[in-house]
Amino acid sequence: EAQVTQNPRYLITVTGKKLTVTCSQNMNHEYMSWYRQDPGLGLRQIYYSMNVEVTDKGDVPEGYKVSRKEKRNFPLILESPSPNQTSLYFCASSSNLRRYTEAFFGQGTRLTVV
Amino acid sequence: AQSVSQHNHHVILSEAASLELGCNYSYGGTVNLFWYVQYPGQHLQLLLKYFSGDPLVKGIKGFEAEFIKSKFSFNLRKPSVQWSDTAEYFCAVNGNSGYALNFGKGTSLLVTP
């Protein structure tokens, strides 16, 4: 089954404690992206990757890092989480947005930073 | 920069009522347009998409949307909503020259029995 898998689904952490949210897709997609969803703000793009070792900032990259060492994986790293990063995070993948295909989304990770 | 505006943040309808959710975007070039739905506690799922051709596109679950290029709009419609349509709806736009998928702020739809 084609899917985008995020882990963990729920996470509560303390300020400053480094964490990683994993994202994996089994569709051999080139394009992957991370979004955060906040009430009243919709989804905002954090980082995206066009292919292995190629990443770029989205609209709200501050406080986040990503890496793309393998095509299927695109982890989101919070080196020093802060309470304003409490949010619902979604990973998405697409074969190529520029070639008229839609994005597929993971189940989401609800992160609380206290 | 691209932006996407959804006019209604909260909509309450009775079952069998007709639905129209507005979406406007600001982007001068060729665009790809999407509507996604997010049921409570779930991830985003694609309802329908427009890339080219017939500006009236049909999606899943009886939804349709019309692309009006002159108005920069891509409104979502459904003739008769059901209780199971209660969800949040997001319009999204991708400019053909970019890699970003820009979302509107979403419209929360509540359908009452």
What is the per-residue pLDDT across A43-63, written as a single tens digit (0 to 9) for each? 999 999 988 999 999 889 999
Residue B82: predicted pLDDT: 96
Looking up tokens 């427009």 gives B50
Confidence of residue B95 (pLDDT cuts 50, 70, 90): confident
Residue A85 near residue A17, CB atoms below 8 Å:
no
Q: Which residues of B touch A9 (CB under 8 A)?
A: none
Chain B residues near residue A32 by CB distance under 8 angstroms:
none
- What is the nearest CA distance from B43 to chain A, expressed in angstroms? 5
Q: Tell me which residue of B71, B62, B82 sits closest to B33, measured CA to CA.
A: B71
Confidence bin at B2 (pLDDT 50/70/90): confident
The contacts of residue B67 (CB under 8 Å, 6+ apart) are B33, B50, B55, B56, B57, B73, B74
Closest approach of chain B CAs to the CA of A37, in angstroms? 9
CA distance B105 to chain A (A): 4
Residue with the two structure tokens 């520029």: A98
Contact A107 B43 (CB under 8 A): yes
Give every CB contact of residue A89 below 8 A, 6+ residues apart in sequence.
A6, A21, A34, A35, A36, A37, A46, A76, A108, A109, A110, A111
| Three-class DSSP category at B50 | strand
Tell which of A25, A50, A97 to mutate to test the B interface (max B CBs under 10 Å): A97
Ranges of chain A whose pLDDT falls below 70: 96-100
Q: Is A62 helix (H, G, I), strand (E, B) or coil?
A: coil
